[in-house]
Amino acid sequence: MFAIVAAAAFGLALLLELIDETLGELVTPRTLTLAGLLLLALHLGAPLRGRRGWRR
């Protein structure tokens, strides 16, 4: 789930960068990129899964 939201954040950041726009003072391509990286790290780290290691 985090990966899907991260992909959307990266896509929106790319679109805003290409058209050279921002969505207010807080939402810029840089903040969306950082949010996407955070979500990607959460997806890869999986701290909310509650299990250790891989299962078969």
Per-residue pLDDT of 11-54, as tens digits, reads 999 998 899 888 888 888 889 899 999 888 888 886 666 666 66
State the pLDDT at residue 27.
87
Angle at 43 between CA 13 and CA 52, to 5 degrees: 170
Q: How many CB atoms lie within 10 A of CB 37?
A: 13
Amino acid at 7: A
The helix or strand, by DSSP H or E, that contains position 41, with its residue range, turns out to be helix 29-45
Per-residue pLDDT of 46-55, as tens digits, reads 666 666 666 6
Task: Return the domain boundaries, the chain.
Answer: 2-45
Close Cβ partners of 14 (under 8 Å, ≥ 6 residues apart): 29
